[in-house]
Structure 1
Amino acid sequence: MRILVGCEMAYEFHQVTPVIAMLNVHASRVSDLERPDYLITTPAVPIEGYRDTFGNWCNRFVAPAGRMTLKTETVVRDSGQWDPAEPDAQQIPIELLPADTLQFLLGSRYCETDRLSETAWSLFGGAPLGWARVKAVCDFVHERIQFGYEHSRPTRTAAEAFDERRGVCRDYAHLALAFCRCLNIPARYCTGYISDIGLPPPYAPGDFAAWIEVFLGGKWHTFDPRNNDPRIGRILMAFGRDAADVPLTLTFGQNTLLSFQVTTEQLV
């Protein structure tokens, strides 16, 4: 299966502004790209690429004052299979976890494990270990939070999402992450493309999405508390501890987002 993915974002910068953009497909999918998904800016400016501490590809540049457009586009070769499920995947004791997973047990900017630990154990302490416990977390979060773009707030934390019971996909992800970490399951925040391929219409306008990956049975597994069902064509862009680690754009100055378009489309 071939999937066209890309985005186009237009900004108005009030002054010359340094920017970091994380808009490229993750390195784990680079071999699936039919062409590089270079970041194209209009007007053109020098761009420096680098990898952050999680291995995500980042682009840094200085935007001139005025209007600027950022664009990426590529075709991804995909298996066309639904997100895999492994119900027998087991939870690994902390003392046996690989060292590089331990940071994903800790509290972070948006995931206050200290505030949610007692709640997590009271809700899920009786659930079977492993896959079933994570599924119980995602089922609860999916039902707990009411989705709506009008509910979006960039400062909302996992504990606030639990109390307010509303939000967008990042809020679902943050609450599920916090609960999993409270339950001693390494969990990381993911951002990227999710398609509607294989689903009945109508389809929502294109957008980037957030989901989680949890470490069970010696590898990372995908869970999606927002949609809470498998998808075809889930394409990772970046992962980190929470949304603070993987902003689409990080701008060091005032600006206005003028337009935002995301494409995820199956090609013949």
Structure 2
Amino acid sequence: MKIRAGFNIAYECPQPTQMLLALDIHPTRRGDLLTGHELRFDPAVEAWGYVDGFGNACTRVTAPPGILNIATEFEIYDSGRPDIVAWDAIQHEVKDLPDDVLVFLLASRYCDTDRLGDLAWSTFSQTQPGWARVQAICEFVHNHIAFNYQNADALRTAHGGWTDRTGVCRDFAHLGITLCRCMNIPARYCTGYLGDIGVPPVPDPMDFSAWFEAYLGGHWYTFDARHNVPRIGRILMATGRDATDVALSTSFGPARLVRFDVITEEVLA
């Protein structure tokens, strides 16, 4: 399967502003590219890439005063298979986890495990450890939160998602991650492209998507509490502890988003 994806976004800055961008696809997907994948800036600016502490490909720029347009479009190969389902994937004892995985058991900016531990243990302690437990968490979150673009809140934590019972894909991911961590299952936040491929299209504008991965049986597996069904055509951009680590842009000064267009679609022969 061939997928066309990309974006055209713009920021308005009143003064020169340093920015960190997480707008590249993840290095693990670069081998699947069928075309080039480069960020284009208008006006032209000096940009240089780096790899952050989570292995994500990022970019540094100084946005000039006025409007900075950032765009890319590319084609990428995808297997066309839905997300892997591995019911036999085991849950590890904490003592057996690799050192670099332990950070994904800890509380983070949006994953306030200290506020949800009692809920997690009272709800999921009787579930079968491993894949079944993570799936039970996804079903719980899927049924608890009502998706609504109008109720997006950049300050909402996992506990906020639990109490508000509404939000967007990041809220589903944060609550799922936090409940997993409370049950000693490492979980990390993912962001990327997810088009309406293999499912009926929805009328909402295309956006980047958020989901999470849980560490089971020595591997990171994809889980999506918002959709709660295996999906086709995910293109990973970045992973981290929560949305803070994978923000599309982090600006060191005022920067107002003034354009946001995303495309993700199957290329039909």
Whether the TM-score (by the shorter chain) exceeds 0.5 is: yes
Report whether the alignment pairs 1:155 with 2:155. Answer: yes
Aligned partner letter, 1:125: S
Distance apart, 1:97 and its partner CA: 1.0
Is 2:83–2:231's contact at 8 Å kept on the other side of the alignment? yes
The residue aligned with 2:220 is 220
Moved more, 102-111 or 255-264: 255-264
Distance apart, 1:175 and its partner CA: 0.6
Which secondary structure does the structure 2 equivalent of 1:153 belong to? coil
Report whether the alignment pairs 1:35 with 2:51. Answer: no
Distance apart, 1:37 and its partner CA: 1.4
The residue aligned with 1:58 is 58
Moved segments of 4+, more than 3 Å: 201-204
Distance (whole Å) between structure 2 residues aligned to residue 218 and residue 110 of structure 1 = 25
How do residues 114-125 of structure 1 correspond to structure 2 at under 5 angstroms?
A: 114-125=114-125
Distance apart, 1:252 and its partner CA: 1.2
Q: Which runs of 5+ in 2 are unaligned?
A: none
Distance (whole Å) between structure 2 residues aligned to residue 15 and residue 202 of structure 1 = 38
Distance (whole Å) between structure 1 residues aligned to residue 14 and residue 165 of structure 2 = 36
Which secondary structure does the structure 2 equivalent of 1:72 belong to? strand
Report whether the alignment pairs 1:45 with 2:30. Answer: no
Aligned partner letter, 2:180: C
Distance apart, 1:205 and its partner CA: 2.0
Which secondary structure does the structure 2 equivalent of 1:108 belong to? coil
The residue aligned with 1:208 is 208
Q: C-alpha deviations, 1:63-102, integer Å up to 9, x for none?
A: 1100110112111100011111011111011111111111
Which secondary structure does the structure 2 equivalent of 1:92 belong to? coil
Distance (whole Å) between structure 2 residues aligned to residue 165 and residue 202 of structure 1 = 21
Distance (whole Å) between structure 2 residues aligned to residue 27 and residue 34 of structure 1 = 14
Distance apart, 1:202 and its partner CA: 4.2
Which secondary structure does the structure 2 equivalent of 1:244 belong to? helix
Aligned partner letter, 1:71: A
Distance (whole Å) between structure 2 residues aligned to residue 223 and residue 203 of structure 1 = 23
Which secondary structure does the structure 2 equivalent of 1:154 belong to? coil
Report whether the alignment pairs 1:194 with 2:194. Answer: yes
Distance (whole Å) between structure 2 residues aligned to residue 247 and residue 202 of structure 1 = 25
Return the TM-score normalized by structure 2.
0.98
Q: C-alpha deviations, 1:210-245, integer Å up to 9, x for none?
A: 000000011000000011111110110000000010
Distance apart, 1:203 and its partner CA: 4.7
Is 2:196–2:202's contact at 8 Å kept on the other side of the alignment? no
Distance apart, 1:118 and its partner CA: 0.8
Distance (whole Å) between structure 2 residues aligned to residue 20 and residue 30 of structure 1 = 20
Aligned partner letter, 1:103: V
Return the TM-score normalized by structure 1.
0.98
How do residues 38-187 of structure 1 correspond to structure 2 at under 5 angstroms?
A: 38-187=38-187
Which secondary structure does the structure 2 equivalent of 1:140 belong to? helix
Distance (whole Å) between structure 1 residues aligned to residue 36 and residue 250 of structure 2 = 22
Which secondary structure does the structure 2 equivalent of 1:184 belong to? coil
Distance apart, 1:201 and its partner CA: 3.4
Distance apart, 1:200 and its partner CA: 2.1
Aligned partner letter, 1:143: N
Which secondary structure does the structure 2 equivalent of 1:107 belong to? coil
Is 1:102–1:186's contact at 8 Å kept on the other side of the alignment? yes
RMSD: 0.9
Q: C-alpha deviations, 1:8-58, integer Å up to 9, x for none?
A: 101211111111111111001000001231111100101010000011011
Which secondary structure does the structure 2 equivalent of 1:150 belong to? helix
Aligned partner letter, 2:253: G
Distance apart, 1:157 and its partner CA: 0.4
Is 1:195–1:231's contact at 8 Å kept on the other side of the alignment? no
Aligned partner letter, 1:56: N
